[in-house]
């Protein structure tokens, strides 16, 4: 399902997205959102539209390392709510809770300071891209472990065919653009 933000958000992304073939390795087509971030009016409109969509339905927004931070901070400010940081292992001062998850070739770990989540908080998990869904699934687990409620998972771009949405079955997943 795509975010119900109208066609303008898709236009913002399409107009400000750069595709880089063979990055970070041969055969991969990387979608780069930095042109959107560099376009002040387009970035402001994106945040305004996200704020309008989520206003009143969330108590905190969790940004996923690292581009999710860039999106979550201004959204949290626009909504007057807190921002949580979910980081890769070893990057947050303790105490932290963590969860390991599998990648295509190996494993990774995401961590959260549990005291950053208030019991019962409705938390939106926000990131730039949904691919396999491992990072988002691990993040949802951490939010619940800390006592929060996952209000939804929102991404700018969803890469179809990589199984991310299927891995997040049962979660409210919204993407602004399917690619």
Instruction: Write out the catalytic residue numbers.
Output: 67, 104
Q: How deeply is 25 buried, as exposed, middle or buried, from its count of CB atoms within 10 A (0-12, 13-18, 19+)?
A: exposed
Cα-based distances in Å from 1 to 4, 33, 103, 104, 137: 9, 20, 24, 25, 17
Kindly report the backbone phi and psi dihedral angles of residue 24, in degrees, each rounded to the nearest multiple of 5, phi listed first.
Answer: -85, 0
Strands 60-64 and 82-88, sheet pairing: parallel
């Amino acid at each position: 399902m795509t975010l119900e933000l109208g066609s303008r958000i898709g236009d913002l992304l399409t107009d400000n997205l750069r595709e880089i073939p063979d990055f970070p390795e041969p055969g991969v087509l990387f979608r780069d959102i930095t042109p959107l971030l560099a376009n002040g009016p387009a970035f402001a409109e994106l945040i305004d539209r996200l704020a309008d969509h989520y206003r009143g339905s969330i108590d905190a927004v969790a940004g996923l390392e690292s581009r999710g931070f860039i999106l979550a901070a201004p959204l949290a400010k626009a909504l007057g709510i807190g921002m949580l940081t979910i980081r890769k292992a070893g990057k947050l001062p303790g105490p932290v809770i963590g969860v390991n998850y599998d990648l295509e070739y190996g494993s990774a770990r995401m961590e959260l300071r549990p005291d950053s989540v208030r019991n019962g908080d409705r938390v939106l998990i926000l990131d730039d891209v949904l691919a396999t869904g491992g990072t988002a699934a691990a993040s949802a687990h951490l939010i619940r472990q800390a006592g929060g409620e996952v209000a939804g998972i929102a991404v700018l771009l969803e890469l179809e065919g990589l199984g991310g949405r299927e891995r997040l079955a049962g979660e409210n997943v919204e993407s602004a653009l399917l690619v």
